[in-house]
């Protein structure tokens, strides 16, 4: 089998060289460049990498990128809007909390002052009763020794 393959391959190679020399007008350098160009085209065809597809792929990639960028920008804008709404709510809650704190503070001060007056009144009443009781005791106790 190898006896048949070698002459066929040799004949094909000689035919290829003859074709490129003929199409190059007998110039071996030009024939070599044409052969390299054709070989590169053959490799691209095998890989499916045709000239012109690069531009289309680049354009499709740019379109895809733009679509993704646009969607990401929309999500960023939505997130920014939601963050602003949340910040406004937090500010509102903060104002309400301060107002309630101030109201509670005023109420606590009122209750403290009221309790203070009640305690002072009770202490004064107790002091008056203790002083009166002491006077009565002195007068009663002192009457024994007269």
Structural domains counted in the chain: 1
Domain assignment present for 109: no
Taking phi over 0 as left and psi of -120 to 50 as alpha, with beta for the rest, 51 belongs to beta
Inside any domain, residue 72: no
**Rounded-to-integer distance, Cα 14 and Cα 77, Å:** 68
Among 5-19, 53-67, 105-119, 128-142, the minimum mean pLDDT is found in 5-19
* 21 within 8 A of 28, measured Cβ to Cβ: yes
pLDDT given at position 12 = 66
Structural domain including 6 reads 1-51
SS3 of residue 22 by DSSP: helix
Residue 19 domain-assigned?
A: yes
pLDDT digits (tens, 9 = 90+) for 29-59: 777 777 777 777 777 777 766 555 566 667 7
Better pLDDT: 22 or 127? 127
pLDDT, one tens digit per residue, over 68-115 is 888 899 999 999 999 999 999 999 999 999 999 999 999 999 999 999
Tokens of 25: 């007008």
- Residue 3: its pLDDT value, please? 64
């Amino acid at each position: 089998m190898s006896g048949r393959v070698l002459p066929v391959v040799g004949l094909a190679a000689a035919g290829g060289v003859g074709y490129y020399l003929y199409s190059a007008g007998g110039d071996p350098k030009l024939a070599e460049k044409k052969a390299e160009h054709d070989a590169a085209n053959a490799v691209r065809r095998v890989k499916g990498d045709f000239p012109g597809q690069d531009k289309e792929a680049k354009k499709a990639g740019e379109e895809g990128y733009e679509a993704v960028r646009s969607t990401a920008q929309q999500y960023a804008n939505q997130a920014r809007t939601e963050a602003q709404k949340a910040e406004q709510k937090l500010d509102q809650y903060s104002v309400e909390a301060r107002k309630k704190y101030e109201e509670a503070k005023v109420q606590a001060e009122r209750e403290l002052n009221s309790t203070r007056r009640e305690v002072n009144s009770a202490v004064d009443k107790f002091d008056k009763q203790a002083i009166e009781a002491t006077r009565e005791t002195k007068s009663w106790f002192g009457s024994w020794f007269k």
